[in-house]
Amino acid sequence: MSEKKEKKVLILLGSPRKKGNSAILAARMARGARRAGAKVETVFLHDLNIAPCRACYACQKKNSKGCSIDDAMQDLYPKLLAAEAWVIATPVYWFTMSAQTKLFMDRCFALPAYAKAPFAGKRIAIAMSYADADPFVSGCVNALRTFQDAFNYTKSRIVGMIYGSAFGAGEIRANEALLKEAETLGKNLVG
């Protein structure tokens, strides 16, 4: 009898607050994924030294050895490749994803240098919090579209997106329906 392989879920927190609203949503997704049998690892992007892409295209050259920038992404690339699923959690800042999240997303451009079709089959979930009551006014929709465009292009599968309005750190806890939805999405992510 063969053993069922434990799925790996990598949570990428793009907020400068470790206990902020998007982190709370991600934690509930992690709970759901663990209950579905996944191994979950969380990476706090704000703590990492991630430089912006230099547009040198070293990662795109034939026989490339990967990104030319020697920073924390070098340790993150193998984790990204090993995980079957990613959760990207970010607050909406100035009408889009946080700077920490955008740096990470830009540097994913180098992933094809490390593996053939690195995004194929990846299951993606997005968690976002924003301050305005309206997702259009807040810029949440702009961020959602950016994720949709990026992951459609890479042929990844966005399993789901959750988002809710909350300004002060921890305010999202008052939205129990959203937290339950986050946990369900975590289970579905493992699928």
The CATH number linked to 57 is: 3.40.50.360
Q: How many domains does the chain have?
A: 1
Is residue 10's pLDDT more than 60? yes
What distance in Å separates the CA atoms of residue 66 and residue 112, rounded to the nearest whole number?
Answer: 8
- pLDDT confidence of residue 191: 81
- pLDDT confidence of residue 178: 97
Total residues belonging to the chain: 191
Of 80-84, 107-111, 138-142, minimum mean pLDDT range: 138-142
State both tokens at 122. 């990846």
Highest-confidence segment of 43-47, 148-152, 187-191:
43-47
**Exposed/middle/buried for residue 139 (C-beta within 10 Å: 0-12, 13-18, 19+):** buried
Q: Per the domain annotation, does 3 fall within a domain?
A: no
**Residue 3 banded pLDDT, cuts 50, 70, 90:** low
Q: Rounded to 5, what percent of the chain is helix, strand, coil?
A: 45, 20, 35
Q: Per the domain annotation, does 131 fall within a domain?
A: yes
- pLDDT confidence of residue 115: 87
Q: Per the domain annotation, does 163 fall within a domain?
A: yes
- pLDDT confidence of residue 135: 84
**Residue 35 belongs to what domain range?**
18-190
Q: Per the domain annotation, does 123 fall within a domain?
A: yes
State both tokens at 120. 């194929």
What average pLDDT does the segment 48-75 reach?
96
Per DSSP bridges, beta strands 8-13 and 85-93 are parallel
- pLDDT confidence of residue 138: 87
Q: Per the domain annotation, does 1 fall within a domain?
A: no
Stated as kind and residue range, the H or E segment containing 129 is: strand 123-130
